[in-house]
Structure 1
């Protein structure tokens, strides 16, 4: 696809979109419980997600903190589906440890996978973390007309994912998710 046809394809996608943000962390949840803002949970990555979304001219519909529990993670995704959010971003639980169950909880729900997100995220992460990139299971997909991203929980990963990939493509992705 040429840059001109890409530009034409993205026309009409520059709008304000709503984001539903979910931090997945058992340790943070056990310390702070169910909270409605990243500040209440001392959640630097959640706060960064919120700041990046709003500074890009979009809005945050809701923030949630949930533990690494498949049923609670799925519950959060279902609440996001019932909200007016266009995009759902989960942060945390994407590693290889036995407690990391975000991908196992969320990816099977997808109507369609977006493999290019995880591929591009890992490619761009090589500059920051080198070959350790193989431990990342960042993923994305479509579910009931919404775009869902599962990103690692570190602030560097959140910044890279949002600034370099998610926010620049939000309108384009939402447009396709609704077709």
Structure 2
């Protein structure tokens, strides 16, 4: 079936979708890695599971597959520079990590110390779809802070929308 739109039209349309900016990390026998992603969402809360998409051409793909662990770190608007570094502006992985403070999660993955929330995940499934791997992660731990405004990506730019503190309430 032939699409009625081009790859460029699709990419331009997706640029109009606002998404949270995340740094996805891994650490384990295969080594330490990390990348910036906006393709992350929850899957289910029974069991707590989320998914992340990673370009299969990334040199880090094998690290994530072999370590079977990853941590999703949701960034605040204060992390704009860090997002750029993990997006590839800084090639050296140790230099990327040196630009922020990290906390080891029980699994051994690295959580950004001041992330809005960090999800420690066990890789339960990886599936190649087109140009990307979809990583399904079962949540093994959560670390969060009560404040902060999320860094968002919209129209190929970082943006932030202030939120009301204490919006968890009931």
TM-score normalised by length of structure 2? 0.28
Could you say which structure has the higher helix fraction? 1
Question: TM-score with structure 1 length normalisation?
Answer: 0.27
